[in-house]
Amino acid sequence: MSPIWVLLLCVALIMLVLMLVRNKGRSRTVMMKSFRWPAEQPPAALGVPQGHPARSAAERLETALGLDLESRVKDRVLKEAPGMSDEEWNWTWFELKRYFLMCAVVKRVPMYSGKVDAVWHEMLMFTREYEGFCVKLCGQMIHHAPHEPSDVPEQSERAWFDWVYGELFTQAPASGRLWGNFYRTKMPQSRLQPLADLEAAELRENWFNVKALSQYKDLDETADYLIYRAKSELRKAGQNTAATPAWQSEYDPAFSGTGILAGLLIVNSLDPYSDSEFSRQMDLAQTEEQRQANDSGVFIPPVCGSGSDHSGSDHSGGDGGGSDGGSSCGGGGCSSS
């Protein structure tokens, strides 16, 4: 090869390398921009719509926490993470409150977010205030349950988490960023079959915090509503179900922003889709805004979860901490004890 061709080849290679470096820099800039925390304030009442049976419980939770406790917890968090912006704090605190509401209603709520769990750790340092908050919310302590790092959540736990979350709350822009990808896990038969076959009373006993439900009417009605929603979706999909409990309310999730994707999670889980096809079907059902909100999480090894008065092995996974143990609004210790 002549020297001129060697020179031209070297120039072409240099230009190619420069182009790749520049494009990589642009991609990194786009990624950094997409990872900016939303500037708007989180919605009131945790994004539980007016008329939803959990709305008053969400309002009670906000009141029970108060601004003083939030400020003190934030001060502790910022000592460990001084670079945390106000926006990141607002959305992380918001998602922790959503987690607490889930714990007030159902058992075995895994903690899938390392960031949210880190804030919970600091909140636990204010033992008296934390206990007072839990009692006001659901009548008993919500215990934090440690577990072994090797524990892994069952498939049903992530699907159950996504379903309950989607039935309680409207879309929030930072949800996936903190919890990991939503609607990527099919609900297995080990969940779907009991939802179809068992009567409401047995489902409440197995999967809901019956002691907390007995103390607060809004939590009790929320459990009834979730069971109603699950059985209704299964019935519409042609599944034979035990009697669907009547739900008397003017609240319609179709017009209020909750439950649509959660319902599709159940319906698409009934089809014999592969995991990738299930994800594709859930993608097709979402707007671009919904996909960005639900798929912006980065998965990190889990840390821990919440305790339950119905003991069982802890499981974890997702973006940073989880427990199959659920909440202990019913009043027990850590599920690992």
- Listing DSSP states for 161-217 in one string gives HHHHHHHH----TTHHHHH--SS-SPPPHHHHHHHHHS-HHHHHHHHB-HHHHHH-H
Task: With H, G, I as helix, E, B as strand and everything else as coil, classify residue 140.
Answer: coil
What token pair was written down for 63? Answer: 């009141």
Please compute, for residue 37, the number of CA atoms within 13 A of its CA located in the half-sphere on the CB side: 14
Pair of tokens at residue 75 = 């001060």
**Strand 304-306 to 144-146 pairing:** antiparallel
| Whole-angstrom distance, CA of residue 15 vs CA of residue 233 | 57
Q: How far, in Å, CA of 71 to CA of 333, rounded?
A: 28
Chain CA centroid to CA 53, Å: 19
Nearest Cα to Cα of residue 298 among 213, 187, 179, 126: 179
Cα–Cα distance between 324 and 48 in angstroms, integer? Answer: 24
Is-contact 245 230, C-beta < 8 A? no
The CA distances from residue 59 to 45, 62, 129, 281, in Å, are 5, 5, 18, 35
**Greatest CA span in the chain, whole angstroms?**
88
pLDDT at 102: 98
Block mean pLDDT (10 aa), the chain, length 337: 64 66 46 70 96 97 93 97 96 98 94 94 96 96 68 72 97 94 94 96 96 97 96 92 84 87 96 94 94 68 42 34 36 28
**pLDDT score, position 332:** 32
User: 259-296 in b/e burial notation, b at 16+ Cβ within 10 A?
Assistant: bbbbbbbbbbbbeeeeeeebbebbeebbeeebbebbbb
pLDDT of residue 6: 58
Looking at residue 290, its pLDDT comes to 93
**Residue of 55, 219, 224, 56 whose CA lies nearest to 138:** 219
**E strand residue ranges, the chain:** 144-146, 304-306
Nearest-angstrom CA–CA distance, 14 and 249 = 68
Question: Helices 260-270 and 217-236 sit at what angle, rounded to 10 degrees?
Answer: 40
pLDDT of residue 254: 80
- For 192, residues 6+ apart whose C-beta sits below 8 A from its C-beta are 234, 239, 266, 269, 270
Interacting residues of 168 by C-beta distance below 8 A, sequence separation 6+ = 48, 52, 54, 98, 101, 102, 105, 222, 258
Interatomic CA distance for residues 296 and 177, integer angstroms: 4
pLDDT of residue 2: 65
Give per-residue burial for 78-89: e unless 16+ CB within 10 Å, then b. Answer: eeeeeebeeebb
pLDDT score at 154:
62
Specify the 3-state DSSP secondary structure of 319.
strand
CA 197/CA 215 separation, integer angstroms: 27
